[in-house]
Amino acid sequence: MSSALQDRVAIVVGSSSGMGKATAITFAQAGAKVVLAARRVDTLNALAEEIGENALSCPTDVQEAAAVDRLIATTLAHFGRIDILVYVTGTNIPDRSLGVLSNETWEMMIRTNLTGAFYCTKAVLPTMRQQKDGLIIYVSSAAVQSPDTSGVSYQASKHGMVGLAHGTFKEEKDNGIRTSMLFPGLTDTPIILKRPVPTPPEVVAQALQPQDVADACLFVASLPARAYVPELVLMPAGLA
C-alpha cells in the first residue's frame, strides 16, 4: 500500500460514485485522511465505513454556499487542516440540445458543475493561505478540448472550470496554492446513462474506468509542492 499522501487531508467532492468514489478510496489507500462530500447520505456513510477510521462522511449540496462552508468547518474541526480539494462532482441531462434545454435546467447545470466548484474554492482558500500550501484538482471533461454533443450547458460549465482553475492559480500561487485541471475522455460512470441515446456496449467497453481518473488524481497529488501540473488530458486509447 502506497504512503504517498501519508497524513494529508483531502476533501473529495462528488465521492458517492464513479470517479469521486474511486479517488476517495485511492487517496485513503495512499495514507490520506479523506472527507467524503456528496448529497447521498446513505451512500457516503457506507463508503466511510468501507474506508475506515481515516474517512469522514460529510453530506453536502454544493449548490448551497452555506453547506460548502459547513463542509470546510467540519473538516477543520475533525482533522485540523486541508491539504487537497478534489472537485469531481458533475452532472448532465438527456434533454441537452438547445432546442429542448430549459432555463431551469441551464441554471441547475451551471450551479452543480461550476458554481459549486467556485463555492468550494472560495471556502477552502483561507485555510490553504494560512498553511501556505494547498492543491485543488478540478475534474472537467475532454469535451473542452474537442467540442461534442454533450450539450451547451455541460460544455459551458466545464469550460468555466478551466477559467476558475487557472485564474485561482495566478492569484494564489504566491500563497503556495496550486491548481490542476484534469480532462478525462469517455469514462464508464453513471453519467453516461444520462445520454439521450444509449452508448453502444462495445464503445463503453473501451472507455476509461473510474480508477484511471483516480490514479491520475493521485499522481498530481503526490508531486512535491515545487511541481505544477496545469492540465492533464486522459483519453481512452481505443477511442482516440
How far apart are the C-alpha atoms of 240 and 238, rounded to whole Å?
Answer: 6
Is residue 154 part of the annotated active site? The answer reads yes
H, E, C per residue of 97-142:
CCCCCCHHHHHHHHHHHHHHHHHHHHHHHHHHHHHCCEEEEEECCH
* Runs of H (alpha helix) within the chain: 18-29, 41-51, 65-79, 103-110, 116-131, 152-172, 201-204, 210-222
CA distances from 181 to 4, 46, 142, 169, 223 (A): 20, 29, 11, 11, 15
How far apart are the C-alpha atoms of 115 and 142, rounded to whole Å?
Answer: 20
The HSE-up count of residue 154 (CA atoms within 13 Å, CB side) is: 25
Residue 200 is given by DSSP the state P
CA distances from 71 to 22, 86, 173 (A): 20, 13, 24
Based on its alpha-carbon atoms, the radius of gyration of the chain, rounded to whole angstroms, reads 17
Here the cell at position 147 is 467540442
How far apart are the C-alpha atoms of 218 and 26, rounded to whole Å?
Answer: 7
Catalytic residue of the set 87, 119, 154, 228: 154
List the catalytic residues.
154
